[in-house]
Structure 1
């Protein structure tokens, strides 16, 4: 750990001389000093001494080196209590939340989680959020484990918390179950979702007419190639063809998608919902 502004430094001076200027006891604990904005502390018989950027051992040696000019037999003991600029706040969603000191400038997020016991086991597909200054960054914990580049260094003052994946999708119509479902995984395909909800109703569903209804933000609407042609789009899945099954396996659901199993011919349903895109074309990019 490097000493930084805001840390509290406790210096204790040992002097074996009988008539020590620090008193007859031989051990003199000084008042704790908060490292100032310019990185310095005050030490008697030395004055203002810059310690920011030093390891505690280096700062102790520096104080002792300066002090022995006045007190030849002096020995120094130094402890540091990290301040905000040398700690990170693991605020919630872990087994042991709290303030954690940063031992060095290369202390990574996963290092912090290893000290705190990792995300709570009751969280569904845990999502990591890092608040730094006025900005918030997010990444799924699973991706943090698998992508070394995402395991960035923590900075003093960072606030980190873990929360549930709040995404949900809805299943209605002639599907195996009609309800609102949480996303069980980070990436969840339409085919996996159909298996998750028990497929479709074998007696009434039209396997050629499984619809995925999605509503985009107005800002995302493009020309139909670089982005959706309009806010409300309906994608179709044909479970009777190999191409349809492969396409469903490659099509990733988004939060608030609606899976609807039709019970009649596909044409009237498409007229009802307006725009329809062929799912295989969307996945292939054509």
Structure 2
């Protein structure tokens, strides 16, 4: 009997201690009254807490404009008009007017004339002139030189130099990823830019991530924003492509937003093309749970941009959704990929969850006490 009483009293004394250790479920527990502050979380990750208001929204807009990714100088075209430089394998057509024996020395009268292929040494053969250097030169440079050299054999020669429509063989770009027809595409005497490459590849698919188009050139990689180009008219993103460039349009699989805590439907979903706001995110999943959510504690957790050698850091944005102006602020707050939207529970819900964990254990105690009495022979 004494053992049973001692066991019951000890069990009841341990229950408050267990409840004080940890509440079940997730809880953010950041003091939103601190406003703009920097703290160190329990797991050692530095974070900055910022309220979502007019001041912070203006600061975020200014920061976004300042951080707009600029194309490096190594990827921008040189000054002056675009000129195609002939390369090995190109098919060059030479016409000397009033001299068909030079224009078509083989006597071909069947239609399309083939022209001269630029050999591996960068030259092609032409009567009277033997080898003519072509690689790395423009058609106009070749025409001027051939005209000057043919004057030794022909009076006032009229020479025309051009590349056959199907003769652009030496320079290519490769387009891969979320396009209709990925593959190699030739660079011609018409400048090929980002928009041209997308069009040549048959256009973008529905799953294309327009904001993270990557271009690889000479072991360097730059990220281009095709959304700014196609939908906002930012021509700085429409860069000139060069031989050997690899253009990749990734899918939107990694552009996700996560919803956790006291929301109607905790989930994750892929961001649509274009702008996505906090108000749209909450409305698309049915909003916060009106029975359990603390409307004053809506948070957006975002990974801060730091150096690879630096410690991880978080930017945490707080929204008090009980305020009438919160809807306006939420509609102006733009989400970014991998953002986490979290809503804290109210204190009463945390207590009820704790009691829901403890009560089943309390219901077992009478049965344990009864078994102890049986063992003691009462």
Query: When the two structures are superposed, what TM-score results if normalisation uses the length of structure 2?
Result: 0.54
CA 1:185–1:175 in structure 2 vs 1: closer, same or farther (change >3 Å)? farther
Equivalent residues in 2 for 1:61-72 (5 A)?
Answer: 63=146, 66=149
Task: Specify whether residues 103 and 5 from structure 1 end up closer, same or farther in structure 2 by C-alpha distance, changes over 3 A only.
Answer: closer
Equivalents in 2 of 1:251, 1:195: separation in Å? 14
Question: RCO greater where, 1 or 2, for CA within 8 Å and sep 6 or more?
Answer: 2
Rounded to whole Å, the distance in 2 between the matches of 1:77 and 1:236 is 67
Give 1:221 deviation, angstroms.
11
SS in 1 for 2:294: coil
Cα 1:132/1:230, change in 2 over 3 Å: closer
In 2, Cα distance between the equivalents of 1:139 and 1:11?
Answer: 37
Q: Determine if contact 1:63/1:76 at 8 Å carries over to the other structure.
A: no
* Aligned counterpart for 1:138 among listed residues 214, 218, 223: 223
Paired position in structure 1 for 2:290: 202
Q: Which one has the largest radius of gyration?
A: 2
Question: Which residue number in structure 2 is paired with residue 48 of structure 1?
Answer: 131
Matched-pair contact (CA < 8 Å) for 1:140–1:186: no
d(CA) in 2 for partners of 1:124 and 1:8?
35
CA distance in 2, matches of 1:240, 1:13: 80
| Aligned counterpart in structure 2 of residue 98 of structure 1, from 172, 183, 189 | 183
Alignment pair present for 1:150 and 2:233: no
Q: In 2, Cα distance between the equivalents of 1:241 and 1:212? A: 17
C-alpha spacing 1:212/1:70, structure 2 compared with 1 (3 Å): same
Query: Matched residues in 1 for 2:176 and 2:280: separation?
Result: 34
Output the CA distance in 2 between the equivalents of 1:207 and 1:111.
49
Contact 2:208 2:250 in 1 (8 A): yes
User: What is the alpha-carbon distance in structure 2 between the residues aligned to residue 218 and residue 255 of structure 1?
Assistant: 16
User: Using the alignment, how far apart are the partners of 1:262 and 1:135 within structure 2?
Assistant: 44
Select which of 302, 315, 323 maps to 1:241.
323
2:197 to 112, 116, 136: 112
Q: 1:186 and 1:135 mapped to 2: Cα distance? A: 27
| Larger helix fraction of residues | 2
1:126–1:162 CA contact under 8 A, matched in 2: no
| Number of corresponding residues | 253
Question: Measured at CA, do residues 256 and 112 of structure 1 come closer, stay the same or move farther in structure 2, by a change above 3 Å?
Answer: closer
Secondary structure of the residue that 1:191 maps to in structure 2? Answer: helix
Q: CA offset at residue 264 of structure 1?
A: 1.0
1:46 to partner: Cα distance: 0.9
Give the Cα separation in 1 of the matches to 2:85 and 2:187: 10
Q: 2:256 aligns with which of 157, 168, 177?
A: 168
State the Cα distance separating 1:105 from its structure 2 match. 6.6
Determine the C-alpha separation between the residues in 2 that align with 1:124 and 1:9: 37
Instruction: Find the partner of 1:6 among 88, 94, 101.
Output: 88
Relative distance call for 1:172 and 1:47 in structure 2 (3 A) is same
Segment drifting more, 240-249 vs 176-185: 240-249
User: Which of 296, 299, 317 is residue 211 of structure 1 equivalent to?
Assistant: 299
CA distance in 2, matches of 1:219, 1:209: 30
| CA distance in structure 1 between the aligned counterparts of 2:93 and 2:235, rounded to whole angstroms | 40
Q: CA RMSD in A?
A: 3.9
- Displacement of 1:16 after TM fit? 5.9
For the 8 Å contact 1:109–1:153, the answer to whether it is kept is: yes
Moved more, 208-217 or 193-202: 208-217
Q: Per residue, is there more strand in 1 or in 2?
A: 1
Secondary structure at the residue paired with 2:329? helix
Query: Kindly tell me: are residues 210 and 75 of structure 1, through their superposed partners in 2, closer, same or farther at Cα, counting changes over 3 Å?
Result: closer
Matches within 5 A, 1:212-227: 212-216=300-304, 219=307
Answer yes or no: is the 8 Å Cα contact 1:216–1:232 preserved in 2: yes
